[in-house]
Amino acid sequence: MGKPTGFKEFTREIPADRSPLERIRDWEEFHAHTAEEKLREQGARCMDCGTPFCQTGMILNGAASGCPINNLIPEFNDLVYRGLWREALDRLHKTNNFPEFTGRVCPAPCEGACVLGIIEPPVTIKNIEFSIIERGFEEGWVVPNPPKKRTGKKVAVVGSGPAGLACADQLNKAGHLVTVLERADRIGGLLTYGIPNMKLDKDDIVQRRVDILAAEGIDFVTNANVGQNYPAEKLVKDFDAVVLCCGATQPRDLTIEGRDLAGIFPAMEFLTTNTKCLLDGTEVPEHISAKDRHVVVIGGGDTGTDCVGTSIRQGCKSVTQLEILPKPPAARAANNPWPEWPKIYRMDYGQEEAAALYGADPRVYCTTTKKFTGDKDGRVNELHTVQIEWKLDANGRYAPVDVAGTEKVIPGQLVLLAMGFLGPEKPLVEKLGLAADERSNVKADYGKFATSVPGIFAAGDMRRGQSLVVWAINEGRAAARECDRYLLGSSNLP
């Protein structure tokens, strides 16, 4: 602990993002950097707790508490305070393959579990992590480091999202010959097509890491849709082991009256189309564009926020975000104590932009949609909504109940369904004959990651269900270790 009184002397400071009205005019990242002196002060605020909950990665009350990949947070905080940036980068890379991703898109459960957060605003862990890795790239410390020996074992990793890339990176470090199969035309999975460019730049950030992995010997194959244009049997025949990291990409639908109208899309289809057109330098097709339309986003999570920010940049007339849950409190409720993830009201970047442009937070709470109605051309034009209350049902569980007299009709010429995902798509799972669990995810125990078919492993959202990027990295790393053990009988991977 470099400065025992640091948490008393310095207040929490994070860099201001680019102003909302400026950043909505482009697709560039809105993150700002912090001066080194300020970063060292923020590192000094870390108390080097006897029990650092920030790095525990527990699940409390259904949410992550602390870092799921167990980043050595007090250590790199202290090293930043001391100005030992290279050593801080080495500590960070011990547990995190891609801090440039998590430093941008992780919701930072580490900060929610920070012990200082009991009495003061928590340490700026996420910003320090972001700054360490970017300093590493600027200084030229992050370079390809191919394994010195090869085992001759061939492994296929299906899917190139955060779980797949982490798994491939670890298996390659172990000396195996790794091939990553991606069905899209670019590597990155969720990182490329699921997260908008203004949160995570594709060419400068995602591709930068992919290029390093390729230089270290990983073979990337795009447009390889396993089970479609790439036979599933070929996996088993050509490789000594397979790790499936295909994500939970089956969207939850809203099967109400009018769902068959044009202009209603799963959120990920909208986001993917936008990013692909941006990267290809083409116009977004008119039928899925928000330009000059009233947009309604159904769902209040991160994906919904991304739809808000993207719709604004496309030039929508207005954007409304419907959330079925109540508005969170401004501070922790009594039933949400530290070190649980704080379930409090926050304005994310998309809501900030909508408020700056239209004058108010676009979210409408405790509201559900009862039906869609369309215009003469068969395109959605209005949503019929009603407010709900959450009441205990006969089984003692909270359930939504319509509030009489609160019915409302709102305009919507583009409706984006951002209500989460139901698990992996079924064709590949069925062709490989894999058992599924009760939630329709691939059945594979955490810690083992072995599916019902010998030699085939599963990790990430495909196994655990929709989750955070940092959990995907956790599972990709752990599945690589178990795959390595399967191939060699033992493993030295962490």
324/466 same-domain check:
no
For CA atoms 90, 66, 477, 216, the dihedral sign is negative
399/456 same-domain check:
no
Transcribe 55-80 into DSSP letters.
GT-EEETTEEES-TT---HHHHHHHH
Cβ proximity of 459 and 248 under 8 Å: no
pLDDT digits (tens, 9 = 90+) for 242-297: 999 999 999 999 999 999 999 999 999 999 999 999 999 999 999 999 999 999 99
Provide the domain limits for residue 177: 154-249+422-488
DSSP state of 55: G
| CATH number, domain containing residue 237 | 3.50.50.60
Q: Please report whether residue 400 resides in a domain.
A: yes
Residue 120 to residue 189: CA distance in whole angstroms: 38
| CATH number, domain containing residue 34 | 1.10.1060.10
Q: Please report whether residue 190 resides in a domain.
A: yes
Mean pLDDT value of segment 114-122 = 96
**pLDDT for the residue numbered 32:** 87
- Two structure tokens written together for 15: 């860099």
Q: Please report whether residue 102 resides in a domain.
A: yes
43/124 same-domain check:
yes
End position of a domain, from candidates 139, 172, 195: 139
413/474 same-domain check:
no
DSSP state of 148: S
Q: What are phi and psi of 389, to 5 degrees?
A: -120, 145
107/179 same-domain check:
no
320/406 same-domain check:
yes
Mean pLDDT value of segment 292-304 = 96
For residue 2, is pLDDT > 80? Answer: no
- Two structure tokens written together for 156: 């296929």
List CB contacts of 472: < 8 A, sequence separation 6 or more.
161, 162, 163, 166, 190, 245, 459, 460, 461
**pLDDT for the residue numbered 1:** 66
Q: Please report whether residue 258 resides in a domain.
A: no
Residue 399 to residue 308: CA distance in whole angstroms: 27
**Number of folded domains in the chain?**
3
83/179 same-domain check:
no
For residue 30, is pLDDT > 80? Answer: yes
The model carries a pTM of 0.96
241/310 same-domain check:
no
* Mean of per-residue pLDDT scores for the chain: 96
Residue 330 to residue 347: CA distance in whole angstroms: 11
- Residue 163: CA count within 13 A, CB half-sphere: 29
- Two structure tokens written together for 273: 């189309």
End position of a domain, from candidates 375, 397, 417: 417
Transcribe 402-437 into DSSP letters.
E-TT--EEEE-SEEEE-S-B-SS-HHHHHHTT--B-
Torsion of CA 22, 23, 25, 26, to 10 degrees: 140
Q: Please report whether residue 64 resides in a domain.
A: yes
Residue 345 to residue 331: CA distance in whole angstroms: 8
